[in-house]
Amino acid sequence: MTKNKTAYKTGLALPIQYLKNIGPKRALYLKRIGVETIEDFLFLVPRRYIDRTKISKIRELTTGQHGSVYGKIIATGTRKTKAKGNIVRIVVTDQTDILEAVWFNRPDLKSGFKTNQPVILSGNVTYYERKQMVNPFYEIITEDSDSDKSFVYTGSIIPIYPLTEGLSNWEIRRPMQNAINSYLHLIPESLSHSILNQYSFPTIKNTITNLHFPKNLIDAQIGQERLKFEEFFYLELILALRKLAQSCQQKGYTLPEKGFITSKFLKLLPFQLTQGQNKVLSQIKADMAKPTSMNRLLQGDVGSGKTVIAVYAMLIAIENAFQAALMAPTEILAEQHYLVWHDKLKELGIDSCLLTSSTKTAQRKSYLADIQTNKIKIIFGTHALIEQDIKFHKLGLAIIDEQHRFGVMQRAALINKGINPDFLVMTATPIPRTLQMTLYGDLEISVLAEKPPGRKRIITRLTTDKERDKIYKFIQDKITEVRQVYIVCPLIEESEKLDLKAAIKTYEQTSKIFAQFRVGLVHGKLKSSERINIMEQFRRHELDILVTTTVIEVGVDIANATVMVIEHPERFGLAQLHQLRGRIGRGQETSYCILIGPDSSFAPAMHRLKFFEQNDDGFLLAEKDLEIRGPGQLLGTRQHGLPDLRFADLTEDRALLFKARDEAFALIDADPNLSKPENQIIRSTFLSKFKDRTELLRVG
């Protein structure tokens, strides 16, 4: 929980080592699980609970099932083996049968068990000469009424905490009562009475008590739900306030479409816009015509045609005598945008330029002068666009491509190059609804679901190394048909630990195998000019095969490339695999994505890769990726300037998220300044949590 000045005065921020029964050594173990203060300790949520009323008799245990038993230790022993290290074992009986419990590599347990001690064991039941549990949870029961331990066992519900080596469940539960007795009264209420009443949530003090010493499982569950709701509520409150700040901000520019450039632009295109593209354009046009700044997220699956919409929006800004800038995360992507659109913009009489860290000094100086005098009206670039010496004449539209790769302050820096310019962010990474409501809850969202007509579905096949000869024959056939091929590897340098194919090694092997063809190599350690040159060679079909790392993950659009081979696909997330696959299937020909995966013994990866093989819906894959990898790895919540989730889970707790969002947005609608007496608890809690995070309210 948040540490504030009040906490330091009251003792909630007291280092945990000073709590009775903790000390310096246990404090180090607790630090490993994120506990450094009394407040952290009180908010340490158990992973699960054991209901002592549902403890089984040993004779009732079934192999392969999870069970909990209560019995007495009748034998103990330890031994050391080369293969499995220290082995600690005990034998327990409850008069109905005996059960052996075994722990591997836990030398700290050697002196922990004594015969005739009562003990609770909980774990999966196996059979080896007798019924057995391997590495089970254990709790030694102390019935000494004079001991300060006895309080722990008076209830029927036992909380099981997240642990680390050297720390037992009992060593957490024993001092927890001390923390509750001495410090619980210092934790202020953080939800209003109306919210507590509406959802039948307990007070914060009852919540903490019920987490650690519940009378029943329902009390424990309600306590956890309250903490999850509260976490979502304050996160959504940030987004509601962001949205309010944007609507109340200094007026932006009114940029209506005038048509004298955009109509010519449409005639230059070799295709017609899809119904979906026209719908999204209507939303963007309506935003730009308003006197307040546009703040919109455009998400579209790979190959759905987002960039043409971005260019159209930039032309609306030009029609109104403003400039527009598009910032991309990589030089390859920025270069591609520039090369694809530069000539068409020139036909419209509009000068554009490309600004990256590789732009030569003299050229850069010339560009900066032309940008400042409005000679150059559209600027494509990378992070180089936000360098201090770049001054726009009149920036009316700022666009960020693949925006999840930029941090909060980078996005703010681009916006600050103008005075409240319209702001459009784009992503080809489909965003699950739960992430839309958290990371992007302050933005208006446009979704581009359909792909341009005529594009065929990409055929995806999951195979193994045994099929490599067939794959090579297939590649040879496709190149003979005048098609091009990507071979994607996850790392540049060989790693014995991960046993991955290195791109350099794969390039050398590929060059030998396909000696009759032209093979190129591109990776992140090449100089930018070299990377761009190689990509241009591939684009001009001066190369047949491109061995590459994930530098081609986003934006690269070469219609003649119809085959992609991905080495070690188990090392990629589903969303990243989908982005890679999206580099092919850009033309009218059937395309093929071949995954050379691990053998079937690697079950978790194979299950995920099978799901990828059978699905090409980016939104479905994004939901699955969120479920498997969590939001942090999927998009990086810290990049968005939002607090990490400690109690709630975006996948499992969606219903609570929706309720919390409704409450937060309704509250800000009714009381924007949180000034009403009944909302003072929320106001003070919000300021306490986020008083040092003012950027949360500034940048979407």
b/e per residue, 397-421, with b = 16+ CB within 10 A? Answer: bbbbbbbbbbbbebbbbbbbbbebb
Query: With pLDDT > 90 as the criterion, what percentage of the chain qualifies?
Result: 49
DSSP string, 20-39: TTTHHHHHHHHHHTT--BHH
pLDDT of amino acid 498: 44
The neighbouring-strand residues paired with 326 are 380, 399
The pair of three-digit structure tokens given for residue 297, joined into one six-digit string: 């997220």
Q: Which of the pair, 690 or 593, is modelled with greater confidence?
A: 593
Q: How confident is the model at residue 174 (pLDDT cuts 50, 70, 90)?
A: confident
Which H/E stretch holds residue 512?
A: helix 503-513
Task: Give the per-residue pLDDT at 312.
Answer: 98
Report pLDDT for 211: 95
Per-domain boundaries in the chain? 1-47+169-187, 49-160, 262-289+305-427, 459-615
Q: Residue 267 contacts by C-beta under 8 Å, 6 or more apart in sequence?
A: none
What pLDDT, in 10s, does the model give residues 75-99? 998 888 776 678 899 999 999 999 9
> For residue 630, what pLDDT is reported?
60
pLDDT tens-place string over residues 373-414: 999 999 999 999 999 899 999 999 999 987 666 766 777 889
Per-residue confidence band for 629, with pLDDT thresholds at 50, 70 and 90: low
What's the pLDDT tens digit per position in 306-347?
899 999 999 999 999 999 999 998 888 898 899 889 999 999
Rounded Cα distance between 698 and 700, Å, is 7
Spatial strand order in the sheet of 352-355: 352-355, 378-381, 323-327, 395-401, 422-427, 295-300, 444-448
Stated as kind and residue range, the H or E segment containing 475 is helix 468-480
CATH of the domain spanning 459-615: 3.40.50.300
The CATH number given to 262-289+305-427 is: 3.40.50.300
Query: Do 49-160 and 262-289+305-427 come out as alike in CATH topology?
Result: no
pLDDT tens digits, 515-528: 999 999 988 778 87
139 vs 52: CA distance, rounded Å: 12
pLDDT for residue 463 is more than 60: yes
* The model scores a pTM over 0.85: no
CATH topology of domain 1-47+169-187: DNA polymerase; domain 1 (1.10.150)
Mean pLDDT across 40-52: 89
127-154, pLDDT tens digit by residue? Answer: 988 999 998 888 787 654 334 444 344 4
The pair of structure tokens assigned to 168 is 């037992």
pLDDT of 2 > 50? The answer is no
pLDDT digits (tens, 9 = 90+) for 531-556: 888 988 999 999 999 999 887 756 57
Tell me, what's the pLDDT at 696? 47
Q: Give the closest residue to 700 by CA, choosing from 639, 632, 633, 640.
A: 640
Distance spanning both ends of the chain, measured CA to CA: 24
How far apart CA 245 and CA 240 sit, in angstroms, is 9
- For domain 49-160, give the fold: OB fold (Dihydrolipoamide Acetyltransferase, E2P) (2.40.50)
Q: Supply the DSSP symbol for 15.
A: B
Q: Residues with Cβ < 8 Å from 488, sequence gap 6 or more?
A: 548, 549, 550, 552, 564, 565, 566, 567, 580
DSSP letters of 51-106? EGGGPBPGGG--TTSEEEEEEEEEEEEEEEETTTEEEEEEEEE-SS-EEEEEEES-
Comparing 529 with 476, which gets the higher pLDDT? 476
User: What is the pLDDT, as a whole number, of residue 85?
Assistant: 73
SS3 348: coil
pLDDT at 227 over 80: yes
Q: Minimal CA–CA distance to 385: which of 406, 624, 404?
A: 406
Question: What pLDDT is recorded for position 643?
Answer: 62
pLDDT band at 492, cuts 50/70/90?
Answer: low
Which of 252-256, 260-264, 275-279, 633-637 is the least confident region?
Answer: 633-637
pLDDT of 40 higher than 90: yes
The C-alpha atoms of residue 642 and residue 456 are separated, in whole angstroms, by 39
Tokens 């009424």 belong to which residue? Answer: 145
Closest C-alpha to 226, from 254, 202, 250, 243: 202
